[in-house]
Structure 1
Amino acid sequence: MSEQDNTRPWTPGVAPVAVVMISLNEAHNMEAVLANLEGWAQEVFLVDSHSADDTVDIALRHGVHVVQRRFRGFGDQWNFALRELPITAPWTMKLDPDERLSDELKRNLADAMRRGEADGFTMQRRLWFMGRPLPVRNDILRVWKSGRCRFSDVLVNEHPLVEGTIAHVAGDIEHHDSPDLEHWLHKQNKYTTAEALAFVQGATVNVPRKLLGSKEGRRAWLKLHFFKIPFRYLLVFLYYIVFKGVWRAGKVGLIWARLRADVYRYREYKIIEMGITGRRPGNVRFGIGRADARVPQFD
């Protein structure tokens, strides 16, 4: 690892935890997420996948320990982070740059880690979309005793595998899902490509695919059999509208539910495309390149 060029070191906070993030072009989130962690986290680490924006500059300015590594998959990147980062805090927390910890969660997590009554902790994550909270929450495992966790070695949709007992802590992680719809669509396009590729390659999920099994096992079973379900996209839309109750968020909720159904549709279409063409998607370059000195240039 290279020596850090920080302008100042991270000031240890009150919670005995190392917060670890991975990033690619997250400058739009870095100031807010680091402000959210200041005074709370003992250590903050970032594994950056060679961002083209100011992600690394902002992180270093705040005293974050930053390393860079080529991205090969989410499970691979997280296992590298847990294996190679010089974590000294007794607890480790996985956090995404677009997530924020509520004050209630900070207090409860700090207390739970000091008591040490479990080896890992789950909490609720609440989704925000278009700047508004949605009534969509899910339990996620994000904190564990340092050295007690590894991640499922998958391309996308990785999950932590923690040794020992798990307890729940009250309080929300707010998931601010993209600054605008253009960013959201770009991100979902990348995720659905990765999911389709993993499906075609027959990537393992490290859990038994059982409808009556664990949460990860149910999700894996549903993804495997989803294409056989009649009216599946309508059912996805209705699931979010009725069962998850996003109708309570008004127009924003309706838009989000429709887009979530579309994400499932895009994944299926990409799987079909790869089966027809035999080619992996995503090899086309986008954006503006450099001027070519071999040809005349005009303003």
Structure 2
Amino acid sequence: MAERNDFDKIELHLIRVLQTLITERSVSRAAMRLRSTQPAVSAQLKRLRALTGDPLLVRSGNGMTPTETALQLLEPASRLLQDADRLFSPRARARGFAPAETALTFRIAASDYLDPLFLPELVAHLKHEAPQARLELLPLSGAFDYRRSLAQGQVDLVIGNWLEPPGELHLGRLMSDEIVCLVAEDHPAARMTARAWTPERYLECQHVAPTPLHGNTPGVIDEHLASLGLRRDVVVKSAHFSLFPLMVAGSLLVLTTGRLFCSRYVDSLPVRIVRCPVAFPPLTYYQLWHELTHASAANRWLREQVREVARNVAGHGMPGRAR
């Protein structure tokens, strides 16, 4: 590690280079984002390696991967830059965040369980309000550690549904939805009376479900069933939630999810919404963020836009009626 006199020579721009290199995981992309040249950023990376006594970025396949030390340095580097911005940019604070002028990149990790129209509506809305901004939409999957990504500043916001969201994160409730079943028009459940469509028959059906977000941890549907001492027969698991209605339309599979999602397909596919014979609590969707970005004016604006779009999508849904 560097001696005291070395630290005295570290300028703020070098901290920005450090943060950008770790988040972009590429010297060339970091150079573009910093409006610099690749040789200049390579030289700064060499200097950072000497100061920290760590390689920071190492080759991994066709790309580069941050070392454990680099990941540990990301949060303090981000905080230092935010503090410097507040310290040295009082006029910027007074003006506040200007969406129409920003060229920031917003990184959002989201599930597609909420509504097939939600993410397209969100992108259209954000590009209208902040035309120069860049967006990166990342899928929530079992291979994606969203809690770590939020803590390390790799994503700004995570949108999804949890029975109990992680306690260390800030959260904003977006909407709640009734849990229903989506089945093919010729599925026996579509022809049964409400009395005949029993919990026992529901559990005996063949079900389709998303792959868990964390290893073998059950999703919200199976987690609630387990709390009741029940278990359904899940015969298809897939990370491609948006394809489930097509799978249901051509089979005897049962999809259990929110009404808002299912309602988008009843007019375009041979499917029907039926009530779920097992009582479920409402499916609640949240946006989650870390303390790292909690006070950021840009991220506060982003969260407000997400909330507005979610409210509009829910308000213009096609609720219909389940049998």
TM-score using structure 2 length: 0.23
Higher relative contact order (Cα pairs below 8 Å, separated by 6+ residues) = 2
Q: Kindly name which structure, 1 or 2, has the bigger radius of gyration based on alpha carbons.
A: 2
